[in-house]
Amino acid sequence: NAGVMQNPRHLVRRRGQEARLRCSPMKGHSHVYWYRQLPEEGLKFMVYLQKENIIDESGMPKERFSAEFPKEGPSILRIQQVVRGDSAAYFCASQGDGNQPQHFGDGTRLSIL
Amino acid sequence: GDSVTQMEGPVTLSEEAFLTINCTYTATGYPSLFWYVQYPGEGLQLLLKATKADDKGSNKGFEATYRKETTSFHLEKGSVQVSDSAVYFCALSDSNTGFQKLVFGTGTRLLVSP
């Protein structure tokens, strides 16, 4: 199955540590989206990237959060100095060119102690 | 900004019952509309979509019609199964942005009992 791969599936961090979430898009997809899902809520858009470029980061918190999608390798969502409120499920979706639907990974569940 | 409103859950039904999950939207342009399904511990899967007014999306017995006049995209299924138990999300994307930034509703949990 060559779907969207996210790892780790579960990540536990203590307050103040860094969290790195990885996303490998489907083969041939050059568009990556990150969404955050808080408990009992819908998904909220965070950032949209194409290879080596951030296209729209209007949903990203201004501090501590960053994202990249390098020429080689997976897309990375990085959260520095995590706080309890960062606890959520983070989903990555990839999309091919043209008006194709987004395909979602199974998410990373981040828990902050 | 754009937004999606879904009926609150959980929706509890017996097997073979008729299902309706209401969804209405607010958008400045002419969005594309989607229904996604999320099974426990998994990511979202696209269930169906519609890209313009009066389009009907359908898949696996589920249907939804894009109603511009009522800004709605209600999900229906004639006879639900236990395996349909999941959380269902209505979403839109603004076609004017040039990319598919999805705006989701809060989700509706469906529980189907035998």
Confidence grade of residue B98 (pLDDT, cut at 50, 70, 90):
low
pLDDT at position A20 over 70 = yes
Handedness of CA B46, A35, A92, B40 (dihedral sign): negative
Residue B29's pLDDT band, with cuts at 50, 70 and 90, is: confident
What is the average pLDDT score of chain A? Answer: 93
Residue B44 C-alpha, separation from nearest chain A C-alpha, in angstroms: 6
Q: Which of B39-48, B74-83, B96-105 holds the top average pLDDT?
A: B74-83
Answer whether B107's CB lies under 8 Å from A42's CB.
Answer: yes
Indicate the DSSP class of residue A73.
S
Please state, in angstroms and as integers, the Cα–Cα distance from residue B75 to each residue in B21, B56, B63, B64, B83, following that order: 5, 10, 6, 5, 17
Across A3-25, average pLDDT: 97
Exposure string for A29-63, b = 16+ CB within 10 A, e = fewer: bebbbbbbbeeeebbebbbbbeeeeebbbebbeee
Q: Which of B4, B49, B100 sits opposite A95 (nearest CB)?
A: B100
pLDDT of residue B96: 62
* Amino acid residing at B22: N
Q: A28 in helix, strand or coil? A: coil
Query: What is the pLDDT confidence band of residue B41, given thresholds at 50, 70 and 90?
Result: confident
pLDDT, mean of residues A22-37:
94
Question: In this predicted structure, what is the pLDDT of residue B30?
Answer: 85
Question: Would the pLDDT of B45 be above 70?
Answer: yes
Chain B residues close to A35, C-beta within 8 Å: 102, 104
Give me the pLDDT at residue A42, please: 82
The pLDDT assigned to A99 comes to 72
If you count residue pairs, one on A and one on B, with CB atoms under 8 Å apart, how many are there?
Answer: 57
Task: Summarize the confidence of residues B70-95 as an average pLDDT.
Answer: 94
Q: Of A66-75, B36-45, B47-56, where does mean pLDDT reach its minimum?
A: B36-45
- Chain A: give the shortest CA distance to residue B45, in Å: 7
- Are residues A101 and B34, on separate chains, in Cβ contact within 8 Å? yes
Q: What is the DSSP string of B44-72?
A: EEEEEEE-STT-EEEETTEEEE-BTTTTB
Mean pLDDT, chain B, as a whole number?
92
